[in-house]
Amino acid sequence: MQGRTMKTSLTVVCLFWGLGFLGCGSNTTSSTLDPTAFGEEFKLSSSDIQGWSQSTAVMSFWTGKGTELEIRIDGGNEPYVTRGCLVAMYQDLVGPDPQACEVVVMDFGTEAHANSMFTYEKQLRSASVPIAQYDTSAAIGSATLGGVSVYAYSKALYFEVQLTGYADQNAAVSVAAQFLRILESKAK
Protein backbone atom coordinates (compact mmCIF):
# COMPACT_ATOMS: atom_id res chain seq x y z
CA MET A 1 0.00 0.00 0.00
CA GLN A 2 2.83 2.39 0.84
CA GLY A 3 4.44 1.82 -2.59
CA ARG A 4 1.14 2.59 -4.35
CA THR A 5 0.69 5.82 -2.35
CA MET A 6 4.26 6.88 -3.17
CA LYS A 7 3.69 6.16 -6.89
CA THR A 8 0.44 8.18 -6.88
CA SER A 9 2.12 11.08 -5.07
CA LEU A 10 5.00 11.05 -7.54
CA THR A 11 2.57 11.09 -10.46
CA VAL A 12 0.71 14.08 -9.01
CA VAL A 13 3.98 15.95 -8.37
CA CYS A 14 5.15 15.28 -11.95
CA LEU A 15 1.78 16.44 -13.32
CA PHE A 16 1.88 19.67 -11.32
CA TRP A 17 5.53 20.27 -12.25
CA GLY A 18 4.75 19.71 -15.93
CA LEU A 19 1.90 22.20 -15.75
CA GLY A 20 4.06 24.77 -13.97
CA PHE A 21 2.13 24.78 -10.70
CA LEU A 22 5.07 24.07 -8.42
CA GLY A 23 6.80 27.35 -9.22
CA CYS A 24 9.79 25.59 -10.67
CA GLY A 25 8.67 25.11 -14.26
CA SER A 26 8.08 27.65 -16.94
CA ASN A 27 4.59 28.56 -18.02
CA THR A 28 5.53 28.04 -21.62
CA THR A 29 4.19 25.19 -23.70
CA SER A 30 5.82 21.81 -24.17
CA SER A 31 6.92 23.08 -27.60
CA THR A 32 9.70 24.96 -25.80
CA LEU A 33 11.89 21.86 -26.02
CA ASP A 34 11.54 21.97 -29.81
CA PRO A 35 13.88 24.76 -30.96
CA THR A 36 11.92 25.48 -34.14
CA ALA A 37 8.58 25.82 -32.30
CA PHE A 38 10.25 27.89 -29.57
CA GLY A 39 11.76 30.23 -32.14
CA GLU A 40 8.49 30.69 -33.99
CA GLU A 41 6.74 31.47 -30.71
CA PHE A 42 9.08 34.37 -29.95
CA LYS A 43 10.13 35.50 -33.44
CA LEU A 44 9.47 39.20 -33.90
CA SER A 45 7.85 40.46 -37.08
CA SER A 46 7.76 43.91 -38.64
CA SER A 47 4.26 44.36 -37.20
CA ASP A 48 5.48 43.87 -33.61
CA ILE A 49 7.51 47.10 -33.48
CA GLN A 50 6.99 49.60 -36.24
CA GLY A 51 10.12 50.38 -38.23
CA TRP A 52 11.93 47.16 -37.31
CA SER A 53 12.40 44.06 -39.48
CA GLN A 54 14.56 40.97 -39.52
CA SER A 55 18.06 41.43 -40.85
CA THR A 56 18.94 39.67 -44.09
CA ALA A 57 22.43 38.77 -42.81
CA VAL A 58 23.53 35.15 -42.47
CA MET A 59 22.28 33.54 -39.22
CA SER A 60 20.01 36.51 -38.49
CA PHE A 61 17.49 34.03 -37.07
CA TRP A 62 18.77 31.00 -35.18
CA THR A 63 17.20 28.46 -32.85
CA GLY A 64 18.79 25.55 -31.06
CA LYS A 65 19.09 23.57 -27.88
CA GLY A 66 21.25 24.92 -25.09
CA THR A 67 24.00 22.44 -25.87
CA GLU A 68 24.16 23.81 -29.46
CA LEU A 69 24.79 27.42 -28.42
CA GLU A 70 28.43 27.30 -29.51
CA ILE A 71 27.13 27.39 -33.10
CA ARG A 72 25.76 30.89 -32.53
CA ILE A 73 28.00 32.24 -29.75
CA ASP A 74 31.34 30.87 -30.99
CA GLY A 75 32.68 29.60 -27.70
CA GLY A 76 30.83 31.80 -25.21
CA ASN A 77 28.14 29.26 -24.40
CA GLU A 78 29.50 27.93 -21.09
CA PRO A 79 27.71 30.38 -18.73
CA TYR A 80 24.37 29.64 -20.40
CA VAL A 81 24.78 25.87 -20.52
CA THR A 82 26.01 25.52 -16.93
CA ARG A 83 23.04 27.55 -15.70
CA GLY A 84 20.58 25.27 -17.47
CA CYS A 85 19.66 26.76 -20.87
CA LEU A 86 17.40 24.24 -22.58
CA VAL A 87 16.56 26.03 -25.82
CA ALA A 88 17.37 29.42 -27.36
CA MET A 89 16.36 31.82 -30.10
CA TYR A 90 18.55 34.59 -31.55
CA GLN A 91 17.16 37.19 -33.93
CA ASP A 92 18.95 40.14 -35.52
CA LEU A 93 16.75 43.09 -36.44
CA VAL A 94 17.35 46.33 -38.29
CA GLY A 95 15.51 49.53 -37.46
CA PRO A 96 15.72 53.07 -38.68
CA ASP A 97 19.26 53.44 -40.03
CA PRO A 98 21.72 53.00 -38.28
CA GLN A 99 19.82 51.23 -35.48
CA ALA A 100 20.18 47.48 -35.01
CA CYS A 101 19.05 44.99 -32.39
CA GLU A 102 19.93 41.47 -31.32
CA VAL A 103 17.15 39.72 -29.41
CA VAL A 104 17.85 36.57 -27.39
CA VAL A 105 15.20 34.44 -25.68
CA MET A 106 16.13 31.34 -23.70
CA ASP A 107 14.13 28.82 -21.71
CA PHE A 108 16.00 27.71 -18.60
CA GLY A 109 13.32 25.29 -17.39
CA THR A 110 12.99 26.93 -13.97
CA GLU A 111 12.73 30.44 -12.63
CA ALA A 112 15.73 29.80 -10.37
CA HIS A 113 17.93 28.94 -13.37
CA ALA A 114 16.73 31.96 -15.37
CA ASN A 115 17.35 34.19 -12.35
CA SER A 116 20.84 32.72 -12.00
CA MET A 117 21.65 33.67 -15.60
CA PHE A 118 20.21 37.16 -15.11
CA THR A 119 22.22 37.68 -11.91
CA TYR A 120 25.39 36.44 -13.59
CA GLU A 121 25.04 38.88 -16.52
CA LYS A 122 24.02 41.74 -14.23
CA GLN A 123 27.19 41.30 -12.17
CA LEU A 124 29.48 40.54 -15.12
CA ARG A 125 28.42 43.67 -16.99
CA SER A 126 28.08 45.87 -13.88
CA ALA A 127 24.62 46.61 -15.24
CA SER A 128 22.96 49.55 -13.54
CA VAL A 129 20.69 51.24 -16.10
CA PRO A 130 17.06 50.91 -14.94
CA ILE A 131 14.48 49.85 -17.52
CA ALA A 132 11.19 51.76 -17.36
CA GLN A 133 8.28 49.77 -15.90
CA TYR A 134 10.60 46.97 -14.68
CA ASP A 135 12.01 46.32 -11.25
CA THR A 136 15.81 46.14 -11.32
CA SER A 137 15.58 42.66 -9.80
CA ALA A 138 14.00 41.43 -13.08
CA ALA A 139 15.42 43.72 -15.81
CA ILE A 140 18.51 45.91 -15.98
CA GLY A 141 20.59 47.51 -18.68
CA SER A 142 24.25 48.10 -19.33
CA ALA A 143 25.31 51.18 -21.26
CA THR A 144 27.18 50.52 -24.50
CA LEU A 145 28.65 52.88 -27.05
CA GLY A 146 25.61 54.07 -29.00
CA GLY A 147 23.07 51.90 -27.23
CA VAL A 148 22.22 49.58 -24.40
CA SER A 149 22.32 45.87 -23.57
CA VAL A 150 19.35 44.76 -21.48
CA TYR A 151 19.16 41.57 -19.43
CA ALA A 152 15.86 40.31 -18.00
CA TYR A 153 14.00 37.24 -16.89
CA SER A 154 10.39 36.27 -16.35
CA LYS A 155 9.49 32.89 -14.91
CA ALA A 156 11.82 30.38 -16.61
CA LEU A 157 12.56 32.65 -19.57
CA TYR A 158 15.71 34.74 -19.91
CA PHE A 159 15.97 37.68 -22.35
CA GLU A 160 18.74 39.80 -23.81
CA VAL A 161 18.05 42.86 -25.98
CA GLN A 162 21.12 44.58 -27.40
CA LEU A 163 20.53 47.86 -29.23
CA THR A 164 23.09 49.88 -31.19
CA GLY A 165 23.04 53.00 -33.36
CA TYR A 166 21.54 55.43 -30.85
CA ALA A 167 22.79 58.93 -30.09
CA ASP A 168 20.53 59.05 -27.01
CA GLN A 169 20.82 56.23 -24.47
CA ASN A 170 17.38 57.05 -23.01
CA ALA A 171 15.81 56.42 -26.42
CA ALA A 172 17.58 53.05 -26.61
CA VAL A 173 16.35 52.10 -23.13
CA SER A 174 12.79 53.03 -24.11
CA VAL A 175 12.92 50.87 -27.25
CA ALA A 176 14.46 47.98 -25.25
CA ALA A 177 11.54 48.15 -22.81
CA GLN A 178 9.14 47.89 -25.78
CA PHE A 179 10.96 44.80 -27.03
CA LEU A 180 10.78 43.20 -23.55
CA ARG A 181 7.04 43.84 -23.24
CA ILE A 182 6.40 42.25 -26.65
CA LEU A 183 8.55 39.22 -25.85
CA GLU A 184 6.80 38.71 -22.51
CA SER A 185 3.41 38.95 -24.23
CA LYS A 186 4.43 36.13 -26.58
CA ALA A 187 5.12 33.77 -23.65
CA LYS A 188 2.24 31.36 -23.23
Strands 139-144 and 61-65: unpaired
| pLDDT per position as a tens digit, 112-169 | 999 999 999 999 999 999 999 999 999 999 999 999 999 999 999 999 999 999 999 9
- Per-residue pLDDT, averaged over 90-100, amounts to 96
Task: Give mean pLDDT, residues 33-48.
Answer: 94
Mean pLDDT across 26-45: 76
Residue 4 lies in a domain: no
Residues forming beta bridges with residue 88, ordered by sequence position: 64, 106
- Most confident among 4-13, 20-29, 142-151 (mean pLDDT): 142-151
The pLDDT of residue 188 is 72
Confirm whether 16 is domain-assigned.
no
Mean pLDDT score, 73-81: 83
Q: Domain count for the chain, please give it.
A: 1
In a domain, 20, yes or no: no
Domain presence at residue 95: yes
Q: Would you say 140 and 128 are in contact if contact means Cβ atoms under 8 Å apart?
A: yes
Tell me what pLDDT residue 33 has: 84
| HSE, side-chain direction, 13 A CA sphere, residue 34 | 7
Q: Is residue 48 part of a domain?
A: yes
Residue 17 lies in a domain: no
Whether the CA torsion 185, 141, 69, 44 is positive or negative: it is positive
- Is residue 157 in a domain? yes
C-alpha–C-alpha distance, residues 104 and 91, integer Å: 7
Q: Compare 30 and 179 and report the one with higher pLDDT.
A: 179
CATH number at residue 121: 3.40.1000
Domain that holds residue 113: 25-186
44 in a structural domain? yes
